[in-house]
Homo-oligomer: A and B are copies of this chain.
Amino acid sequence: MGSKIKLGILGGGGDSLIGVLHRVASNMFDQYEIVGGVFNPNWEENIGFAKKLDLPLSRIYADFESLISEEIKLPDNERMQVVSILTPNFLHFPMAKKLLENGFNIICEKPLTTTYEEALELQKIQELTKTVFAVTYTYTGYPMVRQMRKIIASGQLGKIHKVDVQYYQGWINPIIHDAEKRASTWRLQPDKSGISCCIGDIGTHAFDMIEFVTGLKISKVLADLNYLYDDNLMDIDGTVLIRCGNGAKGVIRASQIATGEENSIIVKVYGEKAGLKWEQENPNYLYKLEDGEPLKVLKPGNVYNSDLSLDGSKLPPGHPEGIFDAMGNIYKGVARAIKGEPYDSGEFPTITDGVRGMNFIEQAVASNAEGNVWKEID
């Protein structure tokens, strides 16, 4: 046996949703074999979960340190080639650091770390080790997001002048207005979640989306965050004015108190020649707008799409794929990178994207704290 990439997993056990997402994704193109990991800090749950997955218990470890120390003893063709980090955010840094130092490739959930400083440190090590390091900004894996990137890169929009990305959810609404609930939700505790809730959790997706589809770098931000109650320590809503490297202006709008919204990401990019719109909840429609032309609606799997987009569709047009498929596409790209096969830079976000996301979070929070002033992104 052995043509498949050997994948280890940290976290994602029990009824973890992110665990299901990564497992299904890893399997989608017959590229990975899950060989072991640490699914849960509790040993019995860890083992129980491994049994559920029919995994050999010999490679289920008590903690990530043991995983590393044991796996590196294995011969090359048996050792885990890549480890997916699905644990709570504050564990990303120590795990990724040690894995990198031991030469493992990594697929890490976002946000990359809890501080920009940690992120920079990881990046330095990654640059030295030249390992493959993907950060799962999952939404970039949708075929029509990839198509946006390619359309813009091809110059069809001309110079970009305006970007506007929304990420609205309403999930915190039933919590935030109740003093007890908001005091007991881990997402709202800085020691557990870092310095930001809304911007950190979803604003970063918007930030990454803009840079992913336009190829521009966001250079400055001015943030107006909302904490809603004095005893609430974490932002749960925010509007961020942005400037891009090419002079384009724009806005990131993120909210967790947009009552009744589910997971409403809306991307709008307008250039001199055309505009593009896309909505995550209907991910298989990409709208192209041009002066004096009918609106065009592009759908996955059609011949008019780019190779990068087509590579992300498994079935003929009209057979809707969703977020599992988007994550599957990211795993497919990582597999190519690990195997040393050629791949497109749009196939998966890297540690650089993760680092920029941390930079953004810190500058947005600082901008708000300092009275809604402009702050630079390195």
Q: What separation, in Å, do the CA atoms of A253 and B164 have in the docked complex? A: 9
Instruction: Judge whether A372 is part of the interface by a CB distance below 8 angstroms.
Output: yes
Q: Which of B1, B272, B299 contacts A54, CB < 8 Å?
A: B1
Contacts of A79 in B (CB 8 A): none
Instruction: Judge whether A292 is part of the interface by a CB distance below 8 angstroms.
Output: yes
Are A295 and B299 touching (Cβ within 8 A)?
yes
Are B241 and A260 touching (Cβ within 8 A)?
no
Instruction: Judge whether A140 is part of the interface by a CB distance below 8 angstroms.
Output: no
Contacts of A328 in B (CB 8 A): 24
Given contacts A54-B3, A321-B322, contact A293 B263 (CB under 8 A): no
Q: What separation, in Å, do the CA atoms of A292 and B56 have in the docked complex? A: 41
Minimum Cβ distance to chain B for residue A321 (Å): 4
Copies per assembly: 4
Contacts of A298 in B (CB 8 A): 294
Cβ contacts A87-124/B at 8 Å (1 or 0 each)? 00000000000000000000000000000000000000
Minimum Cβ distance to chain B for residue A28 (Å): 5
Q: Which of B20, B250, B295, B321 contacts A314, CB < 8 Å?
A: B20
Instruction: Judge whether A204 is part of the interface by a CB distance below 8 angstroms.
Output: no
Q: What separation, in Å, do the CA atoms of A177 and B271 have in the docked complex? A: 11
Are B324 and A270 touching (Cβ within 8 A)?
no
Interface centre among A28, A162, A228 (most CB of B within 10 A): A162
Q: What separation, in Å, do the CA atoms of A321 and B264 have in the docked complex? A: 15
Interface centre among A3, A27, A237, A319 (most CB of B within 10 A): A319
Contacts of A150 in B (CB 8 A): none
Q: What separation, in Å, do the CA atoms of A263 and B315 have in the docked complex? A: 11
Ranked nearest first, the 9 interchain pairs of A and B with the lowest CB-CB distance are A260-B289, A263-B318, A262-B318, A322-B322, A295-B297, A294-B296, A320-B322, A262-B317, A259-B275
Q: Given known contacts A27-B27, A222-B222, A258-B275, what 18 new A-B pairs fall within 8 Å (CB)?
A: A2-B54, A17-B315, A24-B328, A30-B54, A170-B275, A174-B291, A224-B241, A255-B270, A262-B316, A262-B317, A263-B319, A294-B304, A314-B324, A319-B323, A320-B320, A320-B323, A321-B324, A324-B325
